[in-house]
Amino acid sequence: MKRKPSIHDIARELDVSATAISFVLNGKAKEKRVSEELEKKILDYIHKVGFSPNLIAKSLRTGKSNIIGMLVEDISDPFFSSITRWVETRAFEHGYKVFFSSTENETEKAKSLIRIFRERQVDGYIIAPTPGIEAEIRSLMDDHIPVVLFDRHFPQLPTINVLIDNYQGAYDAVDHLRVNGYKNIGLVTLDSKQTQMTDRLKGYTEAIKANKGKGCVLKIPFAHREAVKRISDFLTVNKGLDAVVFLTNYLAISGLEAIAALGLSVPEDLAIVGFDDNTHFSLFSPSITAVAQPVEEIAGQVILQLIDRLRKPEAKTGKKTIVLPTQLIVRNSSGRKVKTKPVAGPKGFTTVKTKPIP
Amino acid sequence: MKRKPSIHDIARELDVSATAISFVLNGKAKEKRVSEELEKKILDYIHKVGFSPNLIAKSLRTGKSNIIGMLVEDISDPFFSSITRWVETRAFEHGYKVFFSSTENETEKAKSLIRIFRERQVDGYIIAPTPGIEAEIRSLMDDHIPVVLFDRHFPQLPTINVLIDNYQGAYDAVDHLRVNGYKNIGLVTLDSKQTQMTDRLKGYTEAIKANKGKGCVLKIPFAHREAVKRISDFLTVNKGLDAVVFLTNYLAISGLEAIAALGLSVPEDLAIVGFDDNTHFSLFSPSITAVAQPVEEIAGQVILQLIDRLRKPEAKTGKKTIVLPTQLIVRNSSGRKVKTKPVAGPKGFTTVKTKPIP
DNA sequence: CTGAAAGCGCTTACAG
DNA sequence: CTGAAAGCGCTTACAG
């Protein structure tokens, strides 16, 4: 592999000092009083040969990499992929490149990614934390490395957090169903102690209580292979349900599979509301009502907070939590309940009328 | 920011040489004849204090970063996101970290990403090329930096290419529709000269010709805002069509929106086949038939070829093209044509007719 | 078997 | 206004 020219090669070529080239390259020509003539000579040559400096060397020398490390749960999830897209764009405007990776919500994977990023001297972190990485985050903070958490957080850590109002989002979903005439509203959530999930669960519970209803909750382990079957069983056992709220994107997708397999009609047999909007929700038949997160604003706040911290690394850090509102996007899957429902079943519940497609 | 300990700090601490530590760290203790006693002393200390070496310094010294730069069209596209997931896993097994970015198929974005990666001394590249970056790729090859192209390629460049049989995939789609009784099969594709699209188009054209049919093609510019309207107009003008093949994932999604807006039934009014499978295709009503790419094998071949090249950087490079087969996944959207309009859907399938939301 | 030293390509305090 | 030199934290050829 041919060695690329270095600043010193160019210095020799042009018979100027490497110092001058460095100043010009970093836009410090004026400040450091490099003559305009010299500056032009250097710039012309650099453009001619298409020189680009070795950023590895620069990083080693300055201790800054201009890289932000970003950990998301799953880069192929529509919520996380759109967040990263926005973050990437905004970071670029500030001169930063973002490297992201998926944790799949696994503690060990998150720990090893943080280690890898640290070894490469990443300047700051944006993290949707997995459970169990409090120590790693604390260690970053101890070394004064800027960290912003989003989507979920650790209440005991004095981090900067960009969150949404999970409680209210779930509450709104239930309330919307109630207003539209649904009486028995079930919930499908993850079996998780992470804040985003517990807050959503609380929103559901409180909304149910407020109307003196009875809750009915199914908790499924993260990334469970048999999520569809679990939901299917849940719906079969709890025939009285006339609506279900799904607390994540993927649970809603699994739920729709289960509902299709059971041959239920939405919303006639069962109304549906999802959490996290999805490009395809408007395309399903019927289209799916969902609690949407303000993706662009989340990304904007995340980068704003991080850049701010990167600018003043020695500033006193304190806990700071930003909570953004959700928005309920009403579509057909939660349409007003039709009271006059044919035949049997308690509360107008129709039994399976179609065989699942083999 | 506290300075992290370096190899020399540890050398001083333990009263050994930095050389020995470096050898131990790189698993060369045996080879370089470091005594077992010394090795143990060093390892113990390193584990105790949790030392991790500065990879930036290592990169600068060795000229290797152990990073692979990967350019995809759009990381949030299900096809590309699953490819990157596999590539990431497989690369990690070989000691490489993958940094990926989306080009959005824009020439300038791709060029600037390649520049950014080069500045950071990335060891090798995996690229789904945008149009117009032949020169950049040639320049990488001139500098003996390993490059593997996938999904599409430049026939005039002697690169390593991992492709699928786009021609056959499209041909199969048309043939399947023909066998199921469809006579007037239209096509919706991108207005693109990239190989993956031209090959698919050729597959369609030849399949139509082989049956002495008449083709009917709509070409839409990449990322066109009004794709739905274009398709809608196309379907309205060409009322004779009884089936349509969509040559990309997103075109199929836009097509479904158009079809919903027009109030057409699938497959009764119009049968559908997509290119690239999609997690949600099985969930739509009806489920969508698609030409699936062998994602895991593509990723496997891509990494295999790249690692091979990274191992022997000076080896003669020659053009090498690997073509993998596609698989047609038959679902309900292309069900056998029923001459007399059906009462209910075939196979106990329920079609929910809902008006599009205004 | 072990260690001192040079050098990867930058930046910047310092001396002229 | 300009340049020589030190140093960021590693690796490795070389001398002992």
Render pLDDT for A231-255 as a digit per residue (tens, 0 to 9): 999 999 999 999 999 999 999 999 9
Contacts of B256 in chain A (CB under 8 A): 283
Please determine, for residue A108, whether its predicted confidence score (pLDDT) is greater than 50.
yes
Among B118, B114, B119, B86, residue whose Cα is nearest residue B101: B114
Q: What is the per-residue pLDDT for A350?
A: 32
pLDDT for B200-235, tens place per residue? 999 999 999 998 988 999 999 988 888 999 999 999
Question: DSSP strand E in chain B: where?
Answer: 67-72, 97-102, 124-127, 147-150, 160-164, 185-190, 217-220, 243-246, 271-275, 289-292, 320-324, 327-329
Contacts of A4 in chain B (CB under 8 A): 143
Q: What is the per-residue pLDDT for B33?
A: 78
- pLDDT tier for residue A339 given thresholds of 50, 70 and 90: low
Token output for B341: 């309009």
Q: What is the per-residue pLDDT for A225?
A: 83
Counting other chains too, the contacts that B308-313 makes at CB distance below 8 Å and 24 or more residues apart are: B309/B124, B309/B146, B309/B148, B309/B160, B310/B96, B310/B123, B310/B124, B310/B146, B313/A1, B313/B144, B313/B146
A285 touches chain B (CB under 8 A): yes
Among B305, B245, B243, B230, residue whose Cα is nearest residue B276: B245
- pLDDT tier for residue B84 given thresholds of 50, 70 and 90: very high
Q: What is the per-residue pLDDT for A32?
A: 80
pLDDT for A291-327, tens place per residue? 999 999 999 999 999 999 998 866 777 899 999 999 9
Is A189:A197 a contact under the CB 8 Å cutoff? yes
pLDDT for B7-24, tens place per residue? 988 988 888 888 999 999
Which range (A42-51, A198-207, B152-161) has the least confidence? Answer: A42-51
Tell me what the mean pLDDT of segment A11-27 comes to. Answer: 90
| Cβ-based contacts (< 7 Å) between B 20-49 and strand D | 22-23, 25-26, 28
Token output for A243: 């609506």
> What 3 state SS string does B30-96 have?
CCCCCCHHHHHHHHHHHHHHCCCCCHHHHHHHHCCCCEEEEEECCCCCHHHHHHHHHHHHHHHHCCC
Q: DSSP string of A209-221? A: HHTT----EEEE-
Q: What is the per-residue pLDDT for A279?
A: 76
Q: Give the closest-approach CA distance of A299 to chain B in angstroms.
A: 16
Q: How far apart are CA A272 and CA A173, in angstroms?
A: 10
DSSP designation for B279: G
Among B70, B62, B56, residue whose Cα is nearest residue B124: B70
pLDDT for A44-93, tens place per residue? 999 998 888 999 999 999 999 999 999 999 988 889 989 999 999 999 99
Q: How far apart are CA B70 and CA B208, in angstroms?
A: 37
Please determine, for residue A189, whether its predicted confidence score (pLDDT) is greater than 70.
yes
Q: What is the per-residue pLDDT for B339?
A: 67
Token output for B306: 């790249």
Could you tell me the strand order of the sheet in which A147-150 lies?
A: A97-102, A67-72, A124-127, A147-150, A160-164, A320-324
Q: Is the CB of A58 under 7 A from strand C?
A: yes
* Distance (Å) of CA A192 to CA A189, A222, B165: 8, 8, 43
Burial class, B15, CB count within 10 angstroms (exposed 0-12 / middle 13-18 / buried 19+): exposed
pLDDT for A135-152, tens place per residue? 999 999 988 999 999 999
Residues 6+ apart with CB under 8 A from B110: B71, B103, B127, B129, B130, B133, B136
Tell me what the mean pLDDT of segment A16-39 comes to. Answer: 88
Q: Is the CB of A34 under 7 A from strand D?
A: yes
Which range (A189-198, B46-55, B145-154) has the least confidence? Answer: B46-55
Q: What is the per-residue pLDDT for B194?
A: 97
Question: In chain A, what percentage of residues exceed pLDDT 90?
Answer: 72
Please determine, for residue A260, whether its predicted confidence score (pLDDT) is greater than 60.
yes
| Cβ-based contacts (< 7 Å) between B 164-183 and strand C | none
Helix (H) / strand (E) element for A324: namely: strand A320-324
- Dihedral of alpha carbons B114, A109, A127, A105, sign: positive
Which range (A282-286, B16-20, B120-124) has the least confidence? Answer: A282-286
Q: What is the per-residue pLDDT for A77?
A: 86
Contacts of A280 in chain B (CB under 8 A): 253, 280
Tell me what the mean pLDDT of segment B289-301 comes to. Answer: 97
**Distance in angstroms: CA A121, C1' C8:** 18
Please determine, for residue A172, whether its predicted confidence score (pLDDT) is greater than 60.
yes
Asked if the Cβ–Cβ distance from A253 to B88 is below 8 Å, we say no
Q: Is the CB of B34 under 7 A from strand C?
A: yes
Q: Give the closest-approach CA distance of B13 to chain A in angstroms.
A: 21
Q: Give the closest-approach CA distance of A216 to chain B in angstroms.
A: 25
Asked if the Cβ–Cβ distance from B253 to A280 is below 8 Å, we say yes
Q: Is the CB of A14 under 7 A from strand D?
A: no
Q: How far apart are CA B270 and CA B240, in angstroms?
A: 10
The size of the A-B interface in CB pairs under 8 A is 127
